[in-house]
Amino acid sequence: MATQGTLDFISHSARQTGQFGAQLGSLLAPGDLILLDGSVGAGKTTMAQGIARGLGISEPVISPSFTIVREYAGRLPLYHIDLYRLAPGSALESIGIEDYLYGDGAVVIEWPDRADALLPADHLQVRLHVTGDTQRSIRLMSTGDQSSRLIEEFRRQALGN
């Protein structure tokens, strides 16, 4: 629904971005897909770390740049994927991305533009922009029923309306 499609907020610290992530993580269900967009240092991994915490994952979440996919065991499995180093046009099938996308866990992808064509249409897009030394604007956008539900629940829990 259009009115539930977008949610904007401002983060004033890395810690706050992590807390937003944790709120989001607490809401995730199997098959949920979150795409994290933003320039280098915008806070994508910081948000992913919060999401992991919200899923009850205590293991430290590190940037998976060289391994592409890292799996963490929480309330659900979390697959943290970073496509930054994937060469344009290279075979994503080789990392078995479908197994993660249609598996038993939730998936978070940094630099998802490297894989656009292969990603399910219904996903939650998170766009981070650097607006100051410690300030980030964060926009959540849904693209289908499943991601709209996430935004709706996030709004209810995090913002109290």
When the beta carbons of 46 and 147 are compared against ligand ATP, the nearer one is: 46
* Rounded CA separation 119/146 (Å): 14
Judged by CB under 5 A, does residue 45 bind Mg ion? yes
Site stretch for ligand ATP (CB under 6 A), options 14-22, 67-75, 97-105, 148-156: 14-22
Among residues 63, 125, 137, 146, which is the contact residue for Mg ion, using CB under 5 A?
63
Stretch binding ligand ATP (CB under 6 A), from 8-16, 92-100, 119-127, 142-150: 8-16
Which of 32, 82 has the CB closer to ligand ATP?
A: 82
Q: Which CB, 104 or 134, lies closer to ligand ATP?
A: 134
Give, as ranges, the residues between 29 and 48 that touch ligand ATP (CB under 6 A): 38, 40-46
Give the 3-state secondary structure of the chain: CHHHCEEEEEECCHHHHHHHHHHHHHHCCCCCEEEEECCCCCCHHHHHHHHHHHCCCCCCCCCCCCCCEEEEECCCEEEEEECCCCCCCCCHHHHCHHHHHCCCCEEEEECHHHHHHHCCCCCEEEEEEECCCCCEEEEEEECCHHHHHHHHHHHHHHHCC
Q: Considering only 6-14, 90-98, 119-127, 140-148, which stretch makes contact with ligand ATP by CB under 6 A?
A: 6-14
Q: Which of 75, 87, 42, 80 is nearest to 62 (CA)?
A: 80
Site for ligand ATP in 62-121 (CB under 6 A): 63, 110
In angstroms, what is the minimal distance from the CB of 90 to Mg ion? 19
Question: Residues interacting with Mg ion, by CB under 5 A?
Answer: 44-45, 63
